[in-house]
């Protein structure tokens, strides 16, 4: 199975971490959005990353891809089987993808990605989001965070993976979690980002991004 997309995208990293937690081997093929690579174009009709190719089957969108992988490899479930737990895990995935991402991506692009490409970023816009939006995002997470373990149940789920992958992009963007204000969130991020399923990616991405 080939996964197209650069892992500095939190959506691509989500799929790579998900696969690693399940022990699934994916061939990770680094790809920018809107690449004209014919295999990628066939897998991603709107040019977004990630996209998957599994033989003659193709799929775009991280949520669709992890759902496919979960159904194909049901061992070590990362989408909880119990109804209430499943609902909460998907909520945290959606919170990461639709509430955190619009904020995190503007900060990441302006503080890290554009400067890496020698294009000036809008530092004022990033600073404004860090000052005004990040406290709202982190306060909510702190309010739902357990002192130990995971967001839902006794084991890691798609909710943890999605939230962690979004926090990683914020960490690259000099948006650290202040442990004096958000102690449970800070400890959670330390635990989750140290997992072997993602720690190697973080080291490689930091090197590539120069952060
Ligand atoms: N909902 C999609 C979002 C994917 C997405 O927006 N990826 C970004 C990179 S982080 C992208 O490809 N952007 C290019 C574009 O939106 O045209 C998913 O979960 O995969």
* Ligand 1 center from residue 94 Cα (angstroms): 14
Mean pLDDT for the stretch of residues 86-102? 98
* Ligand 1 center from residue 49 Cα (angstroms): 5
- Mutation test residue for ligand 1: of 12, 17, 33, 98, the one with most atoms within 8 Å of CB: 33
For residue range 96-144, what is the model confidence (pLDDT) as tens digits? 999 999 999 999 999 999 999 999 999 999 999 999 999 999 999 999 9
Average pLDDT over the chain, rounded to whole? Answer: 98
Indicate if ligand 1 lies below 6 Å from the C-beta of 9: yes
Residue 172: pLDDT band by 50, 70, 90 thresholds?
very high
* Ligand 1 center from residue 107 Cα (angstroms): 16
In order of their start, the domains of the chain are 2-72 (3.40.30.10), 83-209 (1.20.1050.10)
* Burial status of residue 116 (CB atoms within 10 A of its CB: 0-12, 13-18, 19 or more): middle
Indicate if ligand 1 lies below 6 Å from the C-beta of 33: yes
pTM of this prediction?
A: 0.98
Contact between residue 152 and residue 85 where contact means Cβ atoms under 8 Å apart: yes
Q: What is the pLDDT of residue 199?
A: 98
Indicate if ligand 1 lies below 6 Å from the C-beta of 67: no
Indicate if ligand 1 lies below 6 Å from the C-beta of 97: yes
For residue range 175-205, what is the model confidence (pLDDT) as tens digits? 999 999 999 999 999 999 999 999 999 999 9
**H or E stretch including 29?**
strand 27-29
**H or E stretch including 167?**
helix 158-172
């Amino acid at each position: 199975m080939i996964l197209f997309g650069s892992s500095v995208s939190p959506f691509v990293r989500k799929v790579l971490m998900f696969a690693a937690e399940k022990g699934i081997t994916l061939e990770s093929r680094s790809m920018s959005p809107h690449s004209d690579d014919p295999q990628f174009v066939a897998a991603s009709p709107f040019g977004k990353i990630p996209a998957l190719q599994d033989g003659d089957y193709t799929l775009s969108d991280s949520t669709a891809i992890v759902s496919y992988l979960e159904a194909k490899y049901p061992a070590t479930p990362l989408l909880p089987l119990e109804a209430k737990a499943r609902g909460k895990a998907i909520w945290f995935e959606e919170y990461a993808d639709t509430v955190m991402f619009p904020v995190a991506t503007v900060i990441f692009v302006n503080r890290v990605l554009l400067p890496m490409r020698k294009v000036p970023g809008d530092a004022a816009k990033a600073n404004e989001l860090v000052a005004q939006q990040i406290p709202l995002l982190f306060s909510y997470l702190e309010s739902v965070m357990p002192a130990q373990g995971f967001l839902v149940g006794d084991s890691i789920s798609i909710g943890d993976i999605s939230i962690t992958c979004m926090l990683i992009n914020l960490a690259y963007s000099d948006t650290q979690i202040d442990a004096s204000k958000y102690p449970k969130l800070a400890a959670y991020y330390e635990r989750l980002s140290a997992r072997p399923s993602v720690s190697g990616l973080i080291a490689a991405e930091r090197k590539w991004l120069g952060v």
